[in-house]
Amino acid sequence: MLTGDLDRLVAAEIRALRPPPAMTTAGHWQAAPPGSAPAPGTYATPIAFRLGPDATRIAATLAAALRRADWVWSASVTGGYVTVTVTPDALAGLAVRITEAGPACARSTALAGLVGPAPPAPDLAAFAGWADARRHLAAFLTARLAEVAGAPIVSSDQTERGAMPARRPSQAPGPVAAAIDFAGAGAIRYALARLPPGTPARVDPCHAAAHHLGVPAYAVRYAHAHAASTLRQAADLGLSLGEAADFQPRLLAHPSEQALLDELSWLAERVAGAARRARPDVFARYLERLAGAYFDGQEQRPAVWPGITAGGPGISARLWLAAATATALRAGLGRAQRRTALLCAPPARPTKGRSGAPAPRTACRAASLRASGTTMRSAREGGK
């Protein structure tokens, strides 16, 4: 959201240098250049290099346009890069903005000028091997990410006919189908989606099925479940987010809260970046960092804890932050409408301690492996 806001601030200067349809936005925001010590809410863009030969002068013009906004803390030029930091209040305001946006929180217009194919969702169990399953899944997820980032996606009869292999009823299931039977389609889908190019195309179904925070898919699902459970528990105690107009952004100033807000601020940009590079694994790993930031925040500044008896503006602010995290993870995992789903995975149920509060670091029931040669069926029985 914030990177889209920044785009709109520099749109007039970009149009003056490169009239549309050639270029209308900065298009790509990234972390601050190496060697800097950026505060949360810091973004950089190399757009000046694409707008003319004198990148430093152009970057200075764009930085001046950014500094005119009262919610921009600073805007400077570093080696032709425009580096901008928003105010802490602007960053904290994402807790409300993301929550109110719902599944649309991941959307942007970063790829509005591109048109791509729309392959249908692959039936992973129908593929004979892992390599084909990963290739088709990556193509499908790339198209989904691109669509969310604003790219028009066009389907074709040829794409739809060639995307899905046919599996005869009598055909023996391959390793992908066997893994799905054991671990579930969502767990295998996520594990396959997060494999970077150039690595072996294979998923360990025993690891994918395990229920502990060392499994990336489970950690992301658990973070979403924990955030949603926190909101339910707060409601049971008579605590609520309150009105958006009463939200006080200054109350989310703890370093762990600022770190989580910073991760949330990259959601739309990470969607666009993963689509631009045809790397759905990049988006999966972003969700994992977001989950980790949420766990860190809950350990240091929980929204609800055992024995809590009263709320207040500070509690409401933390509940807004938990709601924003749940919304962002739900958009990524596809817990909302199927049409807005990016990476689909089954839900995880948070484990409760004696107090009834969810325990974010508690490892849940894991699949037990007897030995490296254990069959899938015996491994499943060993985890019971």
pLDDT digits (tens, 9 = 90+) for 86-130: 999 999 999 999 999 999 999 998 888 787 788 888 999 999 999
Which has the closest alpha carbon to 335: 183, 191, 220? 220
Q: Which CATH architecture has domain 2-86?
A: 2-Layer Sandwich (3.30)
Per-residue pLDDT reduced to its tens digit, 34-53: 666 678 999 999 889 888 88
Q: How confident is the model at residue 26 (pLDDT cuts 50, 70, 90)?
A: low
Distances (CA, A) of 141 to 63, 94, 122, 146: 35, 26, 10, 8
pLDDT, residue 384, reads: 37
- Highest-pLDDT range among 53-57, 198-202, 218-222: 218-222
DSSP 87-106: -HHHHHTHHHHHHHHGGGGG
Tokens (6 digits) for 267: 């959601």
pLDDT value, residue 308: 87
Amino acid letter, residue 223: A
pLDDT surpassing 80 at residue 25: no
CATH classification for the domain delimited by 92-384, as one of 3.10.180.10, 1.10.730.10, 3.40.50.2300, 2.40.110.10: 1.10.730.10
pLDDT tens sequence across 135-165:
999 999 999 999 999 988 887 554 444 455 5
Q: Return the domain boundaries, the chain.
A: 2-86, 92-384
Q: For the stretch 313-339, what's the b/e string if a residue is b when 16 or more beta carbons lie within 10 angstroms of its beta carbon?
A: eebbbbbbbbbbbbbbbbbbbbbeeee
The most distant pair of C-alpha atoms in the chain lies apart, rounded to whole Å, by 68
Q: How far, rounded to the nearest angstrom, does the alpha carbon of residue 143 sit from its chain's CA centroid?
A: 16
Helical ranges in 149-212 per DSSP H:
157-163, 175-183, 185-193, 205-209
